[in-house]
């Protein structure tokens, strides 16, 4: 079974690239990556879920991968939430969302502000409304490095990632990495996202304080599953447990030997947790 390249148009006319896989006998699952990533980060997850009967829609969010860049640099999390609603409404059924970091925050905003009732469930991947701001700054700092000048080779980009993620084994095959980089006319590789994203996403995420956002999440009436990387620099164990305890239908999985990018660090355990949650009645 192979994925089919597709595209969805948002209310503002942006085209979002997507890979669609599976027949959908068990329903639809929409996968939204984190900031600076692309739809390819979900390849193993989408393949497994499609084989189990779901229709998977792995998106490149606006400004990322093969999706359109916003001409004015609108990368507010509210706008990402509106995009998710537009994609969900183009599907034949109400999708479950698996959202990593930015994608997960956008999903929460869908259900608290933009269009409650759009999603059937939310799987949050290492994100809560009140994330550690030092961790956020570390991630944004990495994304800001080499922003303009890029890398002279894939090996140089791999070295940069290895320095940032020392717990993860450096791959010998860099073909996967090439999906996250663009080769410019000057012969240099740059990340596969709009440089304006780094500054644009800092402009605001939910139109209020993290505390107000977290309070609104308590009214969400669909199942929410938080999967945390135990080595996460964004979500502490206390913050994760406290957030899940406030939810109407919350559950929590803590993945050992994984950081913020849980699916990339421990994909086997991540997949088990995702499938177990989606198999529950109502999820």
Q: Write the CB contacts of 71 (distance below 8 Å, at least 6 apart in sequence).
A: none
To 10 degrees, the CA torsion angle through 248, 254, 260, 265?
-140
Instruction: Evaluate whether residue 80 is within a structural domain.
Output: yes
Task: Give the SS3 label for residue 22.
Answer: coil
Is 92 among the domain residues?
Answer: yes
pLDDT per residue as tens digits for the range 241-277: 999 999 999 999 999 999 999 998 999 999 999 999 9
Mean pLDDT of 154-176: 83
What is the pLDDT, as a whole number, of residue 213? Answer: 93
Measured CA distances, 234 to 77, 121, 262 (Å):
17, 22, 12
Full residue range of the structural domain in which residue 226 is found: 4-132+194-278
Distance CA 266, CA 229 (A): 9
Instruction: Identify whether 187 is part of a domain.
Output: no
For the chain, the 3-state helix, strand and coil shares in percent, each to the nearest 5, are 40, 20, 45
Buried b (16+ CB within 10 A) or exposed e, 153-170: eeeebbeeeeeebeeeee
Strongest mean pLDDT among 1-10, 79-88, 257-266: 79-88
CATH number at 200 reads 3.40.50.1820
Rounded to 10 degrees, what is the CA torsion of 238, 104, 195, 73? -120
pLDDT in tens, 48-69: 999 999 999 999 999 999 999 9
246 neighbors 213 (Cβ within 8 angstroms): no
Place of tokens 């402009």: 203
The answer to whether residue 104 sits within a structural domain is yes
Q: What is the largest CA-CA distance in the chain?
A: 53
Q: How many domains does the chain have?
A: 1
Q: Is the pLDDT of residue 208 over 50?
A: yes
Strand bridging mode 189-191 / 224-229: unpaired
Q: Checking DSSP bridges between strand 28-32 and strand 121-125, what pairing results, if any?
A: unpaired
How many C-alpha atoms does 234 have within 13 Å on its Cβ side? Answer: 26
Residue 140: predicted pLDDT:
81
Q: Supply the angle between the helices 267-278 and 43-51 in degrees, to the nearest 10.
A: 40
Beta strand 96-100 with 4-9: parallel, antiparallel or unpaired?
Answer: unpaired
Q: Is residue 85 assigned to a domain?
A: yes
Q: Is residue 99 part of a domain?
A: yes
**Taking 80 as the threshold, does the pLDDT of residue 168 lie above it?**
no
Domain assignment of residue 101, yes or no: yes
Q: Is residue 176 part of a domain?
A: no
Q: What band does 167 get if pLDDT is binned at 50, 70 and 90? A: confident
pLDDT of residue 206: 44
Q: How many CA atoms lie within 13 A of 39 on its CB side?
A: 26
Residue 37 has pLDDT above 60, yes or no: yes
pTM for this one? 0.91
């Amino acid at each position: 079974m192979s994925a089919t390249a597709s595209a969805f148009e948002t209310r503002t006319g942006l085209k979002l690239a997507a890979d669609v896989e599976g027949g959908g006998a068990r329903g639809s699952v929409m996968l939204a990556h984190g900031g600076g990533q692309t739809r390819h980060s979900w390849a193993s997850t989408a393949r497994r879920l499609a084989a189990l009967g779901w229709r998977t829609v792995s998106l490149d969010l606006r400004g990322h991968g093969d999706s359109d860049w916003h001409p004015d640099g609108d990368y507010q999390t509210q706008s990402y939430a509106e995009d998710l609603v537009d994609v969900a409404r183009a599907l034949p059924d109400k999708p479950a969302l698996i959202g990593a970091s930015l994608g997960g925050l956008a999903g929460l905003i869908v259900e608290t502000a933009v269009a409650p009732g759009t999603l059937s469930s939310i799987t949050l991947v290492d994100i809560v409304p009140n994330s550690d701001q030092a961790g956020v700054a570390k991630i944004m700092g990495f994304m800001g490095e080499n922003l303009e000048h890029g890398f002279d080779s894939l090996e140089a980009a791999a070295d940069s990632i290895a320095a940032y993620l020392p717990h993860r084994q450096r791959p010998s095959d860099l073909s996967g990495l090439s999906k996250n980089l663009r080769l410019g006319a000057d012969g240099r590789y740059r990340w596969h996202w709009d440089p304006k994203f780094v500054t644009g996403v800092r402009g605001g995420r939910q139109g209020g304080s993290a505390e107000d956002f977290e309070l609104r999440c308590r009214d969400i009436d669909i199942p929410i599953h938080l999967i945390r990387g135990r080595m996460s620099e964004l979500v502490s164990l206390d913050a994760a447990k406290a957030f899940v305890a406030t939810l109407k239908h919350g559950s929590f999985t803590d993945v050992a030997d994984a950081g913020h990018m849980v699916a990339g660090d421990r994909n086997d355990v991540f997949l088990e947790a995702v499938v177990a949650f989606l198999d529950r009645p109502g999820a």
